[in-house]
Structure 1
Amino acid sequence: MPRLLRAMGLLAMLLVTQGAMAQKLRMAADAWAPYADVSLLNGGLSTDLIRTALTRAGYTTEYEQVPWARAIHGVSEGRYDILINAWYSKDRTQIGEFSGEYLVNRLRFLKRKTSGIEYQTLEQLHPYSIAVVRSYAYWPAFDNDAELKKVPVASFSTAVRMLAAGRVDLTIEDEYAARLALSREPDEVRDNVEFVSGSLSENGLHILVSLKNPDHEKIVADFDKAIAAMKADGTYDKLFKLHGL
């Protein structure tokens, strides 16, 4: 019995030591609801998905919400280990390693429910007025199409209210950002608009792990494996539902 107790004590000490040695990863991003925002439940959908995956993989995390330029610069210098919401670009491979795609951003048009507008090509939309948020970059083909009747507005809230009131024919927004925004709109707005089938563009979201972290390859591999397991066991879908998406 004393030997068994000693063995159990040693095992407990080993587990405590391993827990204490778990690598803490410093994550950063700018505010981008519903993906990352400290005012949202668990910091937003992306933050929650990533933290859950990394915790399963044996890491601890801390998150700092900073302007986008500071987040990028911090990853390049190694001040942050992870940029949590990154679209792939070749330039960024010089500062970090991309994970696999853990989420997809879809830019989609919205119309009034009574409208028969359909979308397959941008040319189909030339006759219609489209509310767009000033200074937003949507998609090069859309941004550069001079035949589209774009109506600049201050925010998506303004755009969707104009749409519901019949002052424009369409508006456009990231699907999940639009769903969150619509949940905060009055019933007369929310109940009178809907998404047009299809999407203008789709971009995969990745984490970008700083090359300054010597374990960047392992972190990416561990993260990808954990996301796959979360999808398989239903945790991934449960987190979407938790965030109202």
Structure 2
Amino acid sequence: MKKLFLLFLTLPCLFLYSQNQNIKLASDIWPPFSNVEGEKGFALELVKEALLRGGIQMELTITGFDPVMEGIIDGTYQGSPTLWKTEDRENYLLYSEPYLENRLILVGRKGSDVSAKSLSELKDKRIAIISGYAYGSSVYTNLDVILIPGKSDQGNLEKLLTFKADYMLVDELLISYLLTYQLNDIRKFLEIGKEAFLVQPLHFAILKDIPDAQKIIDGFNNNIIKMMSDGTYNKILELNWIQSDVDGDGVLELVLHGDSAGKNAPASYYKLMTETAMTKSNDRYYINGEIYNGWQVVPAKYKTDIIKAANMNNSPSSGLKLKF
């Protein structure tokens, strides 16, 4: 009888354990979205959290992009957390809805003209880029600019400030960090472009023939939606304000992490998606589960200093700050 009782006790544990699933994924080094172990990779952390909420463990390998795709095709890996969608890959991969975007912004020294909307407008200019970064072929089609490859954004910034480059291309996520944590440096040293040269949605993708592939993708999409509204995105991205459609009504809201909104309406925020079909609204605020239409109706209890209340000390743990 005692043995039978112990068996019943262990059955729920065995059942729960059986619900956990491991999935082998691979990604290349693509900061700030993916990186080696110990370095911040925002896309990797978002995907890991969304999968964990569905009882799925991510086994991740970081390698070169070609080995990633070769490994997926030969079955070594079951997918990738950070892929662009292409017609060819859709033949054998199931894609999630986009959960982040890669958006490249033009950055110049203070006083520079950063109004260009494509490289074709920057004839003979020296453009610092990250070598090996997945910019896409459209960035390289113009031969009238001088592309200067570098190993990091920090190195490219140094080239820009020492007049070894005229401009640099920077992902908008890093720009959001600079505007949040280093606004004084931005005002003193840099000019930031308003429009992205390149916009590519990021997807989680898995092989169509793995067990429950569609179920995994559906669960991932549902968890991503929840993470956009419950503060998880802000926490992982280490940003106070993000913009997304938290209630699914087609109107974008500014979503706060925590309950310290700042004394004034946010001057900058990170847009998760540049979905043109959405109704743009910079005056809708989502705070602690409530939507407020207009800054004037946001309760006074939330209008406290962000940096002090969040105890950030003007320094993100991600290490994305640049040295000027």
Q: For the superposition of Structure 1 and Structure 2, which TM-score range results when normalised by the shorter chain?
A: 0.7 to 0.9
Confirm whether residue 229 of structure 1 aligns to residue 226 of structure 2.
yes
Confirm whether residue 31 of structure 1 aligns to residue 29 of structure 2.
yes
Looking at structure 2, the residues matched to 243 and 195 of structure 1 have their Cα atoms a distance apart, in angstroms, of 22
The code of the aligned residue for 2:194 comes to S
The 3-state SS of whatever aligns with 2:142 is coil
- After superposition, residues 104-115 of structure 1 pair within 5 angstroms as 104-115=101-112
The 3-state SS of whatever aligns with 2:37 is coil
Q: Which has the higher helix share?
A: 1
The code of the aligned residue for 1:90 comes to E
Looking at structure 1, the residues matched to 41 and 62 of structure 2 have their Cα atoms a distance apart, in angstroms, of 11
CA contact (8 A) 1:76 1:96 kept: no
How many aligned residue pairs are there? Answer: 231
Partner residue of 1:3? Answer: none
Change (3 A) 1:159 1:20: same
Task: Give structure 1 stretches of 5+ with no counterpart.
Answer: 1-5, 182-186
Question: Which residue of 48, 55, 66 maps to 1:51?
Answer: 48
Partner residue of 2:242? Answer: none
Question: Which residue of 167, 171, 176 maps to 1:170?
Answer: 167
Change (3 A) 1:151 1:203: closer
Partner residue of 1:239? Answer: 236
CA contact (8 A) 2:101 2:201 kept: yes
Partner residue of 1:155? Answer: 151
Change (3 A) 1:32 1:128: closer
Map Cα deviations across residues 122-166 of structure 1 (whole Å, 9 max, x no partner): 45433643334567674544422233x314344344432121123
- After superposition, residues 87-236 of structure 1 pair within 5 angstroms as 87-126=84-123, 128-132=125-129, 138-147=135-144, 149-156=145-152, 157-176=154-173, 192-236=189-233
Task: Give structure 2 stretches of 5+ with no counterpart.
Answer: 179-183, 239-316
Looking at structure 1, the residues matched to 81 and 48 of structure 2 have their Cα atoms a distance apart, in angstroms, of 10
Looking at structure 2, the residues matched to 238 and 135 of structure 1 have their Cα atoms a distance apart, in angstroms, of 29
Aligned sequence identity (%):
25
Which piece of structure 1 moves more, 150-159 or 229-238?
Answer: 150-159
Change (3 A) 1:110 1:206: same
Looking at structure 2, the residues matched to 240 and 134 of structure 1 have their Cα atoms a distance apart, in angstroms, of 24
Higher relative contact order (CA 8 A, sep 6+): 1
Change (3 A) 1:72 1:111: same
- TM-score normalised by the chain length of structure 1: 0.79
The 3-state SS of whatever aligns with 1:236 is helix
- TM-score normalised by the chain length of structure 2: 0.62
The code of the aligned residue for 1:56 comes to R
The 3-state SS of whatever aligns with 2:111 is coil
